């Protein structure tokens, strides 16, 4: 996946300006930067979540396997099945059980066979490192779980539809340190199967989990490179100022 000269307008203001970012397959790409720098706006442009907001306008291209996801005739529903998303706050569906939450995406494509659903639920929950904790109570309501468990439900739910790319918008910012650790450990395993783009407020987190890092400031991408290089030897002085904690 990659973007070419991507610009996102909110009304007349550009929240993201001219970003060209390559997202490497089976790697974790972290987007860092101060609040309001456009990293979340950029992330949501990757699976056309902005389509839900009529005042947003997109220019430039987002290529998925070489095809522009914004090309005329492309169905955003199909794009979102291929590019999943995990949000800042856990979003379990409160009327559904743990099991139904995880297989919600499969129900959408009309899969009904009990065995198949169970198999996918188990695989997804194992991938989200939650299986052992919930395997005996799959039919309990998902809202009864802790915040960290709920976020892993959200991840399992996103994984169940086998997306090619998983977008994560500050997935640990609402969680305690132990849950955060669990999810960070998970990311390392997940990247074997799926390409990950993660927005994070937390520079240590970006440094710990990602392979590449992009630094955003005021809607522009200032610098992009291998995480280790960007954190130890930033090319741009603004990147250096940010990662050394002089602002943000």
Partner 1 sequence: MRSKIYGKPGDRVFTALLVVLGLTVMLVAALMAWELGFGGREAFRAFGFWGFLRGTAWDAVAEQFGAWPFLVGTLITSAVALALAFLPALAAAIAVAEYAPRWLGELVAYLIDLLAALPSVVYGLWGIFVLVPLVRDHVEQPLFLWSAEHAPALMGVLGPPTGIGMLSAVLVLALMIVPYASSLARDAIRLVPRSQREAMYALGATRWEVVRRVVLPYARGGIFAGVILALARAIGETMAVTMLIGNSGQLPYSVFGPAATMASVIANEFAEAEGGLQLSSLLAVGFLLMLLSLAVNLVADFILRRMSVGEGRK
Phi, psi of 236 (to 5 degrees): -105, 140
Measured from the CB of residue 229, what is the shortest distance to partner 1 in angstroms?
Answer: 32
Task: Kindly give the residue spans of alpha helices, DSSP state H, lying in the chain.
Answer: 39-46, 76-82, 98-102, 104-108, 114-127, 131-134, 147-160, 177-190, 203-209, 227-232, 237-243
What minimum distance in Å lies between the beta carbon of 217 and partner 1? 26
State the minimum distance, in angstroms, from the CB of residue 46 to partner 1: 11
Cβ proximity to partner 1: between 85 and 117 the closer is: 85
Please, which residue, 54 or 177, has the CB nearer to partner 1? Answer: 54
CA pair distance 209, 219, nearest whole angstrom: 24
b/e per residue 78-92 (b: at least 16 CB within 10 A): ebbbbbbbbbbebbb
Residue 140 or 185: which CB sits closer to partner 1? 140
Residue 223's closest CA among 212, 211, 208, 210? 212
Binding residues (CB under 8 A) for partner 1: these are 47, 49, 52, 77-78, 80-81, 84-85, 87, 89, 91, 93-96, 104-105, 107-109, 154, 157-158, 161
CB of 44 to partner 1, least distance (A): 9
For partner 1, the closer of residues 108 and 178 by Cβ is 108
């Amino acid at each position: 996946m990659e973007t070419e000269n991507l610009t996102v307008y909110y009304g007349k203001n550009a929240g993201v300006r001219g970003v060209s970012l390559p997202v490497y397959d089976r790697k974790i790409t972290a987007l860092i930067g101060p609040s309001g720098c456009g990293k979340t706006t950029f992330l949501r442009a990757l699976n056309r979540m902005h389509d839900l907001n009529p005042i947003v306008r997109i220019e430039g291209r987002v290529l998925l396997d070489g095809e522009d996801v914004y090309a005329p005739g492309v169905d955003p529903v199909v794009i979102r099945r291929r590019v999943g998303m995990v949000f800042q706050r856990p979003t379990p569906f409160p009327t559904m059980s743990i099991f139904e939450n995880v297989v919600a995406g499969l129900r959408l494509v009309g899969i009904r066979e009990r065995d198949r659903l169970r198999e996918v639920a188990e695989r997804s929950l194992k991938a989200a490192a939650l299986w052992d904790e919930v395997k005996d109570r799959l039919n309990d309501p998902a809202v009864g779980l802790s915040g960290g468990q709920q976020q892993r439900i959200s991840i399992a739910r996103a994984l169940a539809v086998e997306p090619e790319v998983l977008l994560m918008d500050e997935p640990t910012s609402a969680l305690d340190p132990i849950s955060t650790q669990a999810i960070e450990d998970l990311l390392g395993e997940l990247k074997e199967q799926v390409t990950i783009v993660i927005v994070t407020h937390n520079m240590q987190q970006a440094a710990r989990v990602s392979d590449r890092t992009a630094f955003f400031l005021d809607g522009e991408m200032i610098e992009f490179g291998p995480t280790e290089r960007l954190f130890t030897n930033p090319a741009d002085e603004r990147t250096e100022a940010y990662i050394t904690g002089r602002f943000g």
